Amino acid sequence: VAPPQAMEVRVKILFTSLCHTDVYFWEAKGQTPMFPRIFGHEAGGIVESVGEGVTELAPGDHVLPVFTGECKECPHCKSAESNMCDLLRINTDRGVMIGDGKSRFSIDGKPIYHFVGTSTFSEYTVMHVGCVAKINPEAPLDKVCVLSCGISTGLGASINVAKPPKGSTVAIFGLGAVGLAAAEGARIAGASRIIGVDLNASRFEEARKFGCTEFVNPKDHTKPVQQVLAEMTNGGVDRSVECTGNVNAMIQAFECVHDGWGVAVLVGVPHKDAEFKTHPMNFLNERTLKGTFFGNFKPRTDLPNVVEMYMRKELEVEKFITHSVPFSEINKAFDLMAKGEGIRCIIRMEN
């Protein structure tokens, strides 16, 4: 692992976890398969060295790598409303560093490619400084590492974008890690009813720990889910958060919100050719549809505050972590995810 160049840092990864995105690209379902490549993007570590021009990070700092960045200079970074940095937003096709177009990983002189600028399935990795969030050194990295991707995405979709008022009703579509984090966000915001919607009923009991109060399995109903939810909630839910990426679920999530004030938020990433169809009257009747990327959190500015939510015990992270394996057994983490077992598996770099 080569030294960091200008505006880069080399990080010693202590804990990483497996997210569906890693599996998706490992299976070569992503846009441009690249090989060989080091996956991994949800992690926690310590800065080992810094390249030229890096002033806000120093060796020894505790950090979370992030698959998207914040340069702090572009119009998106300067906008209070966006986190979609022009320079460093997620790029799944790029396997090299942005500065010189080269990889920092090699074996026998041949390059190994990077993944979403993080490549955390490695004891050391090199990242652009804008993709590294400096956090409270007191925070346990084996817990808060899961905040660098999926958990923050779901949490932010609820608290930053859907913003359910106290006492409101929220529907969560998809009860995987991101959906459970969205439910947790709705719970933190003070929603009184949180309805989990999932085709897998075995997820329902676990979801109660994250604030879900009731459940709908579309397979149990002959009516469309949006109609079932409207009947349960006297006309529709106040907020919905869609975390599956399935276009039908997206339509259901939008059409199930109450007219006049309902807000639906899309989080799940659809198939590249997918299209969304709904009647324009759904908008004219004052329903709002929003999308979100990484829960609208700016990585460097906002992630340290999410870690502080955990430190203040406002956000529970432990319940998302269901398994732990040493790095030598990383394939077990892939097996667990393939079987749909657990929520997050922590991979310990040092046994």
Catalytic annotation present for 123: no
Contacts 24+ apart (CB under 8 A), 328-331: 330/18, 330/121
Among the listed residues 89, 114, 258, 287, the single catalytic one is 89
CA dist 311 and 144 (Å) reads 10
Among the listed residues 149, 212, 256, 345, the single catalytic one is 149
Among the listed residues 8, 10, 16, 21, the single catalytic one is 21
Among the listed residues 48, 76, 85, 114, the single catalytic one is 85
Catalytic annotation present for 193: no
Distances (CA, A) of 265 to 254, 305, 335: 8, 22, 31
**Tokens, residue 71:** 């340069």
Among the listed residues 8, 42, 242, 255, the single catalytic one is 42
Catalytic annotation present for 62: no
Among the listed residues 114, 128, 187, 344, the single catalytic one is 344
Catalytic annotation present for 243: no
Among the listed residues 48, 70, 71, 287, the single catalytic one is 71
Burial (Cβ within 10 Å: 0-12, 13-18, ≥19) of residue 338: exposed
Distances (CA, A) of 39 to 86, 129, 215, 309, 324: 23, 19, 35, 28, 18
List CB contacts of 206: < 8 A, sequence separation 6 or more.
175, 180, 343
Asked if 129 contacts 159 with a C-beta cutoff of 8 angstroms, the reply is no
Catalytic annotation present for 21: yes
Asked if 349 contacts 13 with a C-beta cutoff of 8 angstroms, the reply is yes
Catalytic annotation present for 344: yes
Catalytic annotation present for 288: no
Among the listed residues 74, 206, 278, 329, the single catalytic one is 74
Among the listed residues 16, 37, 68, 77, the single catalytic one is 77
Among the listed residues 10, 37, 41, 203, the single catalytic one is 41
Catalytic annotation present for 19: yes
Among the listed residues 8, 10, 16, 19, the single catalytic one is 19
Catalytic annotation present for 279: no
Burial (Cβ within 10 Å: 0-12, 13-18, ≥19) of residue 344: buried
Catalytic annotation present for 348: no
**Among all residues, which ones are annotated catalytic?**
19-21, 41-42, 71, 74, 77, 85, 89, 149, 344
